[in-house]
Amino acid sequence: MRPPTPKPFPEPEIQQIDTLFERAGLRRTLRGKAGVTTRMRFERSTQQELISAAPLPRIAPNGVQWLAVPALDKLKWLWHGFSTRRGGRSRAYCADDTQGELNLGFTKEDDRETVAQNRRLFIEAVSGDPATPLVDVHQIHSNLVLLANSADAHRKRPHNADGLMTDEPGLLIGIRTADCIPILVADRKRRAVAAFHAGWRGTVQRIVESGIGRMRLQFGSRPEDLIAAIGPGIGPCCYAVGEEVLSSFESQFAYARELFREVYDSDPVRNKYPMLFMTQRAPGHSSIGPSLHLNLIEANRRQLLAAGLRPRAIHLVGACTSCHRELFFSHRASKGHAGRMMSVIGIRTDAARQS
Protein backbone atom coordinates (compact mmCIF):
# COMPACT_ATOMS: atom_id res chain seq x y z
CA MET A 1 0.00 0.00 0.00
CA ARG A 2 1.36 3.40 -0.93
CA PRO A 3 1.61 6.01 1.84
CA PRO A 4 -0.98 8.80 1.62
CA THR A 5 0.00 11.88 -0.34
CA PRO A 6 0.82 14.73 2.08
CA LYS A 7 -1.52 17.69 1.94
CA PRO A 8 0.05 20.96 0.80
CA PHE A 9 0.37 23.81 3.26
CA PRO A 10 -2.32 26.49 2.96
CA GLU A 11 -1.11 29.54 1.04
CA PRO A 12 -1.25 31.94 4.07
CA GLU A 13 1.07 29.63 6.01
CA ILE A 14 3.46 29.42 3.05
CA GLN A 15 3.55 33.23 2.96
CA GLN A 16 4.37 33.37 6.68
CA ILE A 17 7.23 30.92 6.17
CA ASP A 18 8.56 32.96 3.24
CA THR A 19 8.41 36.10 5.38
CA LEU A 20 10.48 34.43 8.11
CA PHE A 21 13.03 33.24 5.53
CA GLU A 22 13.30 36.74 4.07
CA ARG A 23 14.00 38.27 7.47
CA ALA A 24 16.83 35.77 7.87
CA GLY A 25 18.21 36.59 4.43
CA LEU A 26 17.07 33.25 2.96
CA ARG A 27 14.83 32.24 0.07
CA ARG A 28 12.80 29.02 -0.08
CA THR A 29 13.71 26.78 -2.99
CA LEU A 30 11.01 26.34 -5.62
CA ARG A 31 12.29 22.94 -6.81
CA GLY A 32 10.24 20.89 -4.41
CA LYS A 33 13.11 19.72 -2.18
CA ALA A 34 12.14 20.12 1.43
CA GLY A 35 14.48 22.01 3.72
CA VAL A 36 16.65 23.54 1.00
CA THR A 37 17.15 27.28 1.05
CA THR A 38 19.43 29.74 -0.70
CA ARG A 39 20.83 33.01 0.60
CA MET A 40 19.32 36.08 -1.03
CA ARG A 41 21.60 38.22 -3.11
CA PHE A 42 22.73 41.64 -1.98
CA GLU A 43 22.80 44.79 -4.05
CA ARG A 44 25.92 44.70 -6.20
CA SER A 45 28.45 47.45 -6.94
CA THR A 46 32.01 47.98 -8.03
CA GLN A 47 34.45 49.58 -5.64
CA GLN A 48 34.80 52.66 -7.87
CA GLU A 49 31.06 53.33 -7.68
CA LEU A 50 31.25 53.65 -3.89
CA ILE A 51 34.30 55.91 -3.56
CA SER A 52 33.58 59.47 -2.41
CA ALA A 53 35.74 62.55 -2.78
CA ALA A 54 37.95 63.73 0.07
CA PRO A 55 36.87 66.89 1.92
CA LEU A 56 38.90 70.08 1.96
CA PRO A 57 40.40 70.54 5.44
CA ARG A 58 40.84 73.81 7.29
CA ILE A 59 44.38 74.93 8.03
CA ALA A 60 45.00 76.41 11.46
CA PRO A 61 47.68 79.08 12.05
CA ASN A 62 49.87 76.42 13.69
CA GLY A 63 49.73 74.26 10.53
CA VAL A 64 47.23 71.65 11.75
CA GLN A 65 44.73 70.54 9.10
CA TRP A 66 41.33 69.53 10.45
CA LEU A 67 37.66 69.21 9.51
CA ALA A 68 34.67 71.06 10.91
CA VAL A 69 30.92 71.02 10.29
CA PRO A 70 29.26 74.28 9.15
CA ALA A 71 26.05 73.38 11.00
CA LEU A 72 27.98 73.00 14.26
CA ASP A 73 29.93 76.18 13.58
CA LYS A 74 26.65 78.06 13.92
CA LEU A 75 26.51 77.11 17.59
CA LYS A 76 28.78 79.86 18.93
CA TRP A 77 29.03 78.21 22.34
CA LEU A 78 30.51 75.03 20.85
CA TRP A 79 34.01 73.71 20.06
CA HIS A 80 34.36 70.77 17.71
CA GLY A 81 36.71 69.24 15.15
CA PHE A 82 37.87 66.09 13.35
CA SER A 83 41.63 65.78 12.91
CA THR A 84 43.47 64.57 9.81
CA ARG A 85 47.01 63.19 9.64
CA ARG A 86 48.44 66.50 8.41
CA GLY A 87 50.22 69.20 10.34
CA GLY A 88 51.87 67.51 13.31
CA ARG A 89 55.36 66.54 14.49
CA SER A 90 55.27 62.72 14.34
CA ARG A 91 57.61 60.89 11.98
CA ALA A 92 56.64 57.32 12.89
CA TYR A 93 54.26 56.81 9.95
CA CYS A 94 55.57 59.06 7.19
CA ALA A 95 58.39 58.94 4.65
CA ASP A 96 61.73 60.47 5.58
CA ASP A 97 61.43 63.24 2.99
CA THR A 98 57.97 64.43 4.10
CA GLN A 99 56.75 66.73 6.84
CA GLY A 100 55.69 65.43 10.22
CA GLU A 101 52.19 64.11 10.86
CA LEU A 102 49.46 64.60 13.42
CA ASN A 103 49.34 61.26 15.20
CA LEU A 104 47.13 61.79 18.27
CA GLY A 105 47.26 58.27 19.69
CA PHE A 106 49.89 57.02 22.15
CA THR A 107 50.93 54.19 19.85
CA LYS A 108 53.94 51.97 20.49
CA GLU A 109 55.75 53.20 17.36
CA ASP A 110 55.61 56.89 18.28
CA ASP A 111 57.29 58.99 20.93
CA ARG A 112 54.93 59.87 23.78
CA GLU A 113 56.08 63.48 24.11
CA THR A 114 55.70 64.00 20.37
CA VAL A 115 52.11 62.76 20.56
CA ALA A 116 51.46 65.04 23.54
CA GLN A 117 52.79 67.96 21.51
CA ASN A 118 50.53 66.97 18.60
CA ARG A 119 47.55 66.96 20.94
CA ARG A 120 48.35 70.46 22.13
CA LEU A 121 48.56 71.61 18.51
CA PHE A 122 45.19 70.10 17.67
CA ILE A 123 43.55 71.45 20.82
CA GLU A 124 44.90 74.89 19.96
CA ALA A 125 43.47 74.62 16.44
CA VAL A 126 40.01 73.76 17.79
CA SER A 127 39.72 75.87 20.96
CA GLY A 128 42.37 78.54 20.49
CA ASP A 129 44.15 77.52 23.71
CA PRO A 130 46.56 74.55 23.83
CA ALA A 131 45.99 74.28 27.61
CA THR A 132 42.29 73.42 27.23
CA PRO A 133 41.72 70.17 29.19
CA LEU A 134 41.10 67.07 27.07
CA VAL A 135 39.38 63.91 28.30
CA ASP A 136 39.59 60.69 26.30
CA VAL A 137 39.09 57.02 27.12
CA HIS A 138 40.76 53.65 26.72
CA GLN A 139 38.56 52.29 23.92
CA ILE A 140 37.36 48.70 24.22
CA HIS A 141 34.79 48.36 21.37
CA SER A 142 31.83 48.47 23.76
CA ASN A 143 28.64 50.49 24.17
CA LEU A 144 29.85 52.04 27.45
CA VAL A 145 29.35 55.83 27.67
CA LEU A 146 30.68 57.83 30.64
CA LEU A 147 30.00 61.28 32.07
CA ALA A 148 33.19 63.36 31.87
CA ASN A 149 34.41 66.26 34.02
CA SER A 150 37.59 68.30 34.29
CA ALA A 151 39.10 65.98 36.90
CA ASP A 152 39.18 63.18 34.31
CA ALA A 153 41.64 65.19 32.22
CA HIS A 154 44.32 64.62 34.88
CA ARG A 155 43.92 60.86 35.30
CA LYS A 156 47.08 58.85 34.63
CA ARG A 157 45.04 56.02 33.16
CA PRO A 158 41.81 56.85 31.33
CA HIS A 159 38.59 54.98 31.98
CA ASN A 160 37.57 52.05 29.77
CA ALA A 161 34.71 53.17 27.52
CA ASP A 162 33.81 54.09 23.95
CA GLY A 163 31.79 57.21 24.55
CA LEU A 164 31.88 60.38 26.62
CA MET A 165 29.36 63.11 27.41
CA THR A 166 29.50 66.34 29.39
CA ASP A 167 27.76 69.63 30.05
CA GLU A 168 30.79 71.18 31.78
CA PRO A 169 32.20 74.28 30.00
CA GLY A 170 35.90 74.65 29.26
CA LEU A 171 36.48 70.97 28.54
CA LEU A 172 37.05 68.94 25.36
CA ILE A 173 36.00 65.30 25.15
CA GLY A 174 37.47 63.13 22.40
CA ILE A 175 37.67 59.69 20.85
CA ARG A 176 40.38 58.23 18.58
CA THR A 177 39.91 56.46 15.26
CA ALA A 178 41.87 55.07 12.32
CA ASP A 179 38.94 53.48 10.38
CA CYS A 180 36.18 53.22 13.00
CA ILE A 181 33.41 55.80 12.88
CA PRO A 182 33.50 58.91 15.12
CA ILE A 183 30.19 60.57 15.98
CA LEU A 184 29.85 63.97 17.69
CA VAL A 185 26.51 65.11 19.13
CA ALA A 186 25.44 68.49 20.54
CA ASP A 187 22.25 69.48 22.34
CA ARG A 188 21.35 72.93 21.06
CA LYS A 189 19.00 73.72 23.97
CA ARG A 190 20.58 72.05 27.00
CA ARG A 191 24.16 72.78 25.86
CA ALA A 192 25.44 69.27 26.40
CA VAL A 193 27.73 67.28 24.12
CA ALA A 194 28.81 63.69 23.47
CA ALA A 195 31.41 61.79 21.43
CA PHE A 196 31.10 58.13 20.38
CA HIS A 197 33.59 55.63 18.93
CA ALA A 198 31.76 53.10 16.73
CA GLY A 199 33.59 50.16 15.26
CA TRP A 200 31.46 47.29 14.00
CA ARG A 201 31.27 45.70 17.45
CA GLY A 202 30.20 48.94 19.12
CA THR A 203 27.69 49.53 16.35
CA VAL A 204 26.15 46.08 16.84
CA GLN A 205 25.92 46.92 20.56
CA ARG A 206 24.07 50.15 19.62
CA ILE A 207 26.51 52.57 21.22
CA VAL A 208 24.93 55.55 19.46
CA GLU A 209 21.37 54.66 20.43
CA SER A 210 22.33 53.92 24.02
CA GLY A 211 24.49 57.07 24.15
CA ILE A 212 21.59 59.27 23.08
CA GLY A 213 19.51 57.55 25.73
CA ARG A 214 22.16 58.43 28.34
CA MET A 215 21.99 62.08 27.24
CA ARG A 216 18.23 62.06 27.72
CA LEU A 217 18.58 60.66 31.24
CA GLN A 218 21.55 62.77 32.32
CA PHE A 219 20.77 66.14 30.74
CA GLY A 220 17.09 65.94 29.82
CA SER A 221 18.05 66.14 26.14
CA ARG A 222 15.27 65.85 23.58
CA PRO A 223 16.14 64.13 20.28
CA GLU A 224 14.61 66.96 18.26
CA ASP A 225 17.13 69.36 19.84
CA LEU A 226 20.17 67.26 18.94
CA ILE A 227 22.53 67.77 16.03
CA ALA A 228 25.09 65.13 15.03
CA ALA A 229 28.16 64.84 12.81
CA ILE A 230 29.53 61.52 11.55
CA GLY A 231 33.24 61.89 10.87
CA PRO A 232 35.74 60.19 8.57
CA GLY A 233 35.84 56.39 8.70
CA ILE A 234 36.26 53.39 6.45
CA GLY A 235 33.62 53.43 3.74
CA PRO A 236 31.56 50.69 2.05
CA CYS A 237 34.02 50.86 -0.85
CA CYS A 238 36.77 49.30 1.28
CA TYR A 239 35.18 47.64 4.31
CA ALA A 240 35.08 43.95 3.36
CA VAL A 241 33.79 41.77 6.18
CA GLY A 242 33.03 38.12 6.85
CA GLU A 243 29.82 36.20 7.43
CA GLU A 244 30.22 36.50 11.21
CA VAL A 245 29.77 40.28 10.96
CA LEU A 246 26.67 39.85 8.80
CA SER A 247 25.23 37.37 11.30
CA SER A 248 25.88 39.74 14.21
CA PHE A 249 24.04 42.59 12.47
CA GLU A 250 21.16 40.35 11.41
CA SER A 251 20.68 39.30 15.02
CA GLN A 252 20.18 42.92 16.08
CA PHE A 253 18.66 44.96 13.25
CA ALA A 254 15.64 44.26 11.05
CA TYR A 255 17.23 46.42 8.34
CA ALA A 256 20.66 44.74 8.61
CA ARG A 257 20.77 43.47 5.02
CA GLU A 258 20.31 47.02 3.71
CA LEU A 259 23.72 47.87 5.22
CA PHE A 260 25.60 45.25 3.17
CA ARG A 261 26.32 44.80 -0.51
CA GLU A 262 28.42 42.62 -2.77
CA VAL A 263 31.34 44.56 -4.20
CA TYR A 264 33.18 43.46 -7.31
CA ASP A 265 36.77 44.35 -8.04
CA SER A 266 36.97 46.96 -10.78
CA ASP A 267 40.46 45.90 -11.90
CA PRO A 268 40.04 44.70 -15.54
CA VAL A 269 42.99 42.28 -15.26
CA ARG A 270 41.46 40.57 -12.20
CA ASN A 271 38.08 40.43 -13.88
CA LYS A 272 39.51 38.85 -17.05
CA TYR A 273 41.86 36.40 -15.31
CA PRO A 274 40.24 35.65 -11.90
CA MET A 275 42.08 32.32 -11.50
CA LEU A 276 45.38 34.18 -11.19
CA PHE A 277 44.14 35.81 -7.99
CA MET A 278 42.44 32.85 -6.33
CA THR A 279 43.03 32.53 -2.57
CA GLN A 280 41.97 30.18 0.23
CA ARG A 281 40.76 33.00 2.42
CA ALA A 282 37.19 33.11 3.72
CA PRO A 283 34.52 34.97 1.72
CA GLY A 284 34.66 38.68 2.40
CA HIS A 285 38.39 38.59 3.21
CA SER A 286 39.74 37.83 -0.26
CA SER A 287 41.13 40.60 -2.45
CA ILE A 288 38.92 39.64 -5.40
CA GLY A 289 35.19 40.12 -5.75
CA PRO A 290 32.51 39.64 -5.03
CA SER A 291 33.16 40.37 -1.38
CA LEU A 292 30.70 41.36 1.29
CA HIS A 293 31.04 45.03 2.29
CA LEU A 294 29.48 46.85 5.25
CA ASN A 295 28.38 50.49 5.25
CA LEU A 296 29.31 51.35 8.83
CA ILE A 297 28.58 55.05 8.31
CA GLU A 298 25.01 54.32 7.25
CA ALA A 299 24.61 51.89 10.14
CA ASN A 300 25.33 54.68 12.63
CA ARG A 301 23.18 57.19 10.75
CA ARG A 302 20.32 54.71 11.12
CA GLN A 303 20.94 54.56 14.86
CA LEU A 304 20.78 58.33 15.14
CA LEU A 305 17.44 58.26 13.31
CA ALA A 306 16.21 55.44 15.55
CA ALA A 307 17.18 57.54 18.59
CA GLY A 308 14.86 60.29 17.32
CA LEU A 309 17.17 62.74 15.54
CA ARG A 310 15.77 64.48 12.50
CA PRO A 311 17.38 63.52 9.17
CA ARG A 312 18.44 67.09 8.44
CA ALA A 313 20.19 67.27 11.82
CA ILE A 314 22.63 64.50 10.86
CA HIS A 315 25.70 65.62 8.91
CA LEU A 316 28.27 63.42 7.14
CA VAL A 317 31.87 64.62 7.21
CA GLY A 318 34.91 63.40 5.40
CA ALA A 319 35.35 60.34 3.22
CA CYS A 320 36.75 56.83 3.36
CA THR A 321 39.90 56.68 5.48
CA SER A 322 41.21 53.68 3.54
CA CYS A 323 40.78 55.37 0.14
CA HIS A 324 42.31 58.69 1.19
CA ARG A 325 45.46 57.72 3.08
CA GLU A 326 47.06 61.01 2.06
CA LEU A 327 44.60 62.73 4.42
CA PHE A 328 43.68 60.10 7.04
CA PHE A 329 45.27 57.29 9.00
CA SER A 330 43.85 53.86 8.12
CA HIS A 331 44.56 50.82 10.26
CA ARG A 332 43.29 48.41 7.60
CA ALA A 333 44.97 50.00 4.58
CA SER A 334 48.33 50.20 6.37
CA LYS A 335 48.02 46.65 7.78
CA GLY A 336 48.05 47.90 11.36
CA HIS A 337 50.94 50.36 11.07
CA ALA A 338 48.94 53.54 11.56
CA GLY A 339 48.62 56.55 13.79
CA ARG A 340 45.32 57.75 15.25
CA MET A 341 43.07 60.68 14.50
CA MET A 342 40.92 62.36 17.11
CA SER A 343 37.42 63.81 17.08
CA VAL A 344 36.64 66.33 19.82
CA ILE A 345 33.72 68.38 21.03
CA GLY A 346 33.24 70.73 23.97
CA ILE A 347 31.47 73.72 25.46
CA ARG A 348 33.38 76.98 25.30
CA THR A 349 34.60 78.51 28.53
CA ASP A 350 32.64 81.69 27.78
CA ALA A 351 29.52 79.73 26.69
CA ALA A 352 27.25 81.79 28.96
CA ARG A 353 27.98 84.87 26.83
CA GLN A 354 27.54 83.07 23.52
CA SER A 355 24.20 82.92 21.72
**Beta bridge partner(s), residue 176:** 342
Which letter, b or e, does each residue of 306-340 get, where b requires 16 or more Cβ atoms within 10 Å of its Cβ?
ebbbeeebbbbbbbbbbbbeebbbbbebeeeebbb
Report the CATH architecture of 56-233+310-349: 4-Layer Sandwich (3.60)
User: Which amino acid belongs to residue 63?
Assistant: G
Polymer length of the chain: 355
Task: List all residues 6 or more positions away from 48 whose beta carbon is below 8 Å from its beta carbon.
Answer: 237, 266
pLDDT of residue 203: 98
The CB density around residue 10, as the number of other CB atoms within 10 Å, is 9
Beta bridge pairs of residue 196: 163, 183
* DSSP type of residue 240: B
Q: What is the largest CA-CA distance in the chain?
A: 93
Burial class from Cβ neighbours inside 10 Å (0-12, 13-18, 19+) for residue 298 reads middle
CA–CA distance from 242 to each of 139, 248, 271, 284, 298 (Å)? 23, 10, 21, 5, 18
pLDDT in the model for residue 268? 55
Pair 208, 307: CB distance under 8 Å: yes
Per-residue pLDDT of the chain (355 residues; tens, 9 = 90+): 566 665 665 666 666 666 655 555 555 544 444 444 445 678 888 888 888 889 999 999 999 999 999 999 999 999 999 999 999 999 999 988 788 999 999 999 999 999 999 999 999 999 999 999 999 999 999 999 999 999 999 998 999 999 999 999 999 999 999 999 999 999 999 999 999 999 999 999 999 999 999 999 999 999 999 999 999 999 999 999 999 999 999 999 999 999 999 998 765 555 556 556 555 555 444 455 579 999 999 999 999 999 999 999 999 998 999 999 999 999 999 999 999 999 999 999 987 666 5
Residue 78, strand partner residues: 347
The predicted structure's pLDDT at residue 279: 58
Question: Residue 302 corresponds to which amino acid?
Answer: R
